Amino acid sequence: MDVKEERVDLRNPDFAGMEEGKRLTQLIFKLNHTMPMTEEYGEILRELFGERLGEGSFIAAPVQMVCSDKVKIGKNVFINSNFLAMARGGITIEDDVQIAANVQVISNNHDPYERQVLLCKPVLIKKGAWIGAGATILPGVSIGEYAIVGAASVVTHDVPDFAVAVGNPAKVIRMLEASKFE
């Protein structure tokens, strides 16, 4: 995925954005302290994501997100507990994705010389992908359709459709048969 980098200078505060960030952080706290699989839990998810949460999707608490307003989740997505989303650059999770526990999706990093400047690139996880437990996906990465990212892998580059990528840094070790997916 060839993506444009956005630079955000934290030395120039966006006070309106900070207020919204505070509201979203408080909603995430509330979500993390609400009985899961209850109507109240569902209401908080809907308030947090609105139209950006697809039908049939579920996020298991606890979850930690920064800039959760830049996270879009498709239909029938399952995200297990301890999900960390650093979403300043944007995170899109398409339909039918499965994300195991302790996964980190990071769409921003700091400039190595000006550390108050964030370098932001979107992350895209395509339809049907499966992200293994403890995996980390770094800024600007696209995970292909029906691809698998192995547990504890660190994804620094795009993973093609139907690929199985493992390791640190993650490397493609095999390809799945596309004809076996609907």
Which sequence positions are flagged as catalytic? 110
Encoding tokens for residue 160?
């093609």
Label the pairing between strands 108-110 and 104-106: unpaired
Label the pairing between strands 83-86 and 104-106: parallel
Encoding tokens for residue 182?
């609907």
Measured distance CA(2)–CA(36) in Å, rounded: 38
Q: How many CB atoms lie within 10 A of CB 151?
A: 15
Q: Which of 123, 127, 137 is nearest to 165 (CA)?
A: 137
- At what angle are helices 39-49 and 15-32 packed, to 10 degrees? 160
Per-residue DSSP letter, 159: B
Q: How many CB atoms lie within 10 A of CB 47?
A: 13
